[in-house]
């Protein structure tokens, strides 16, 4: 395996894949101008490895044979065997080349792919939840709760858009507002600490709901995050409503922290599967208030726009943008590109 230049062209057709902790989504790009051929999402738990998933969900359903692949995964990319953070797959690009006859494989972080997508999303893919207008070349941040909590940045340097992957979802978070301190006593830590992911990943909704119920002296009624959010949206359960209010507050707080880290005048974009389902709570006061409550920088935060990504398959859009024009981006592919 040798390091490859960012602008080295990819041979079409290109297979692109967005591999999360729960689902895997694949598409084919026939050539540089053709629209994506998107295949139905599959559950990672249903397949032993990525090669089996590609064979069953892509190669068995088309005569178009990809020559190259760009795959984003939920987790850091180190070495020739890459573990997914929240799933059992271990991706080995050399095995993929041998089993699928691909000639060229690039692995990116999943939120690196979402960061790339910020150059490709259309107005209809976004719902603004506050702030002003983004600056044209200002830094951007994407944060998305789902199975885990991902964070990525996108900065403009020397005329290139440079995605910045990381594990920002694992930053520590603590109580701040008066009503949070008692609740905090009932939140179960993971790995000995309470990170943003503990509260904001899908499983965090149930944990937060139980903590709210215990604080209120009530028996929890729900054990599924979907049931908590449904009750909150219906206003049928006070603890559920309080839970999703708090969830929106914590998401806004962490998003604001990341906006400060990057000074994201190009906007903060909320991705993942959960936010579009709780839109009324994100367009209300808690989310934006927590986002802006960054004294002494409230005035700056007030101008930074926030958006919820509502378009489908945004990570695939980011991978496609890179595949079609790698020269527009500053992506370091050393140790992340394998060739036959």
Q: What does the pLDDT look like over 59-107, one tens digit per residue?
A: 999 999 999 999 998 777 888 998 886 678 899 999 999 988 899 999 9
Q: How far is CA 156 from CA 55, 75, 197, 262, 276, in A?
A: 37, 24, 28, 11, 28
Nearest to 229 by CA among 243, 215, 210: 243
Write down the pLDDT at residue 284: 80
Domain 122-309 has CATH 3.40.50.300: no
Residue 7 banded pLDDT, cuts 50, 70, 90: low
132 DSSP assignment: -
Question: Is the per-residue pLDDT at 311 higher than 60?
Answer: yes
Strands 68-73 and 82-83 turn out to be unpaired
Question: Is the per-residue pLDDT at 6 higher than 70?
Answer: no
Mean pLDDT of 178-195: 95
Report the percent of the chain where pLDDT is more than 90.
Answer: 83
Nearest to 273 by CA among 231, 315, 332, 236: 315
Write down the pLDDT at residue 1: 39
pLDDT digits (tens, 9 = 90+) for 217-249: 999 999 999 999 999 999 999 999 999 999 999
Q: Starting from the edge strand earliest in sequence, which strands make up the sheet with 149-157, in order?
A: 126-130, 306-309, 268-270, 140-145, 149-157, 160-165
Q: How far is CA 34 from CA 15, 29, 37, 157, 193, in A?
A: 13, 7, 9, 29, 47
Mean pLDDT of 42-49: 94
Write down the pLDDT at residue 101: 86
Distance CA 226, CA 277 (A): 9
Residue 194 banded pLDDT, cuts 50, 70, 90: very high
Mean pLDDT of 310-339: 93
Mean pLDDT of 318-329: 93
Write down the pLDDT at residue 86: 67
CA dihedral 167, 168, 170, 171 (to 10 degrees): 140
Distance CA 226, CA 207 (A): 13
Token pair 């049928």 is found at 236
**34: which residues sit within 8 A by CB, 6+ positions away?**
none
Question: What fold is seen in the domain 14-109+326-339?
Answer: Nucleotidyltransferase; domain 5 (3.30.420)
Write down the pLDDT at residue 87: 79
36 DSSP assignment: P
Write down the pLDDT at residue 290: 97
Write down the pLDDT at residue 109: 86
Domain with CATH 3.40.367.20 in the chain: 122-309
Mean pLDDT of 319-330: 93
CA dihedral 131, 132, 137, 142 (to 10 degrees): 20
Question: Is the per-residue pLDDT at 122 higher than 70?
Answer: yes
134 DSSP assignment: P
pLDDT digits (tens, 9 = 90+) for 238-294: 999 999 999 999 999 999 999 999 999 999 999 988 999 999 999 988 999 999 999
**Cβ proximity of 118 and 269 under 8 Å:** yes
Domain with CATH 3.30.420.40 in the chain: 14-109+326-339
Question: Is the per-residue pLDDT at 2 higher than 80?
Answer: no
Mean pLDDT of 39-44: 94
Mean pLDDT of 316-340: 93
Using DSSP, state whether 35 is helix, strand or coil. Answer: coil
Mean pLDDT of 39-49: 94
Hey, what are 54's tokens?
Answer: 């590609």
Distance CA 239, CA 213 (A): 6
Residue 3 banded pLDDT, cuts 50, 70, 90: very low
Distance CA 208, CA 219 (A): 13
Q: How far is CA 13 from CA 30, 34, 201, 237, 320, in A?
A: 4, 10, 35, 51, 11
Mean pLDDT of 22-32: 93
Write down the pLDDT at residue 21: 76
């Amino acid at each position: 395996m040798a390091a490859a230049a960012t602008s080295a062209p990819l041979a079409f057709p290109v297979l692109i894949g967005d591999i999360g902790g729960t689902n895997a989504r694949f598409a084919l790009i026939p050539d540089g101008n053709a629209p994506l051929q998107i295949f139905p999402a599959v559950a990672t738990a249903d397949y032993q490895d990525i090669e089996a998933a590609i064979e069953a969900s892509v190669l068995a359903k088309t005569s178009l044979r990809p020559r190259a692949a760009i795959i984003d995964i939920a987790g850091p990319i180190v070495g020739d065997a890459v573990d997914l953070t929240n799933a059992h797959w271990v991706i080995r690009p050399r095995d993929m080349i041998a089993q699928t006859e691909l000639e060229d494989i690039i692995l990116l972080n999943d939120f690196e792919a979402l960061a790339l997508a910020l150059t490709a999303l259309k107005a209809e893919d976004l719902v603004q939840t506050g702030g002003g207008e983004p600056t044209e070349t200002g830094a951007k941040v994407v944060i998305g709760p789902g199975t885990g909590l991902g964070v990525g940045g996108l900065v403009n340097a020397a005329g290139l858009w440079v995605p910045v992957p990381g594990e920002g979802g694992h930053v520590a978070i603590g109580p701040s507002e008066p009503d949070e301190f008692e609740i905090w006593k009932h939140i179960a830590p993971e790995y000995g600490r309470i990170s943003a992911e503990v509260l904001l990943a899908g499983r965090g909704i149930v944990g937060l709901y139980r903590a709210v119920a215990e604080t209120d002296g009530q028996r929890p009624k729900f054990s599924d995050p979907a049931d908590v959010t449904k009750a909150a949206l219906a206003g049928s359960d006070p603890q559920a409503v309080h839970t999703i209010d708090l969830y929106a507050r914590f998401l806004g707080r962490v998003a604001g922290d990341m906006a400060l880290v990057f000074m994201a005048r190009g906007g903060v974009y909320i991705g993942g599967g959960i936010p579009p389902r709780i839109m009324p709570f994100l367009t209300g006061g808690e989310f934006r208030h927590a986002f802006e409550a960054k004294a002494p920088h409230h005035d700056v935060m007030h101008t930074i726009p926030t958006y919820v990504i509502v378009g489908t398959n945004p990570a695939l859009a980011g991978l496609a943008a890179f595949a079609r024009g790698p020269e527009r981006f500053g992506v370091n592919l050393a140790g992340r590109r394998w060739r036959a």
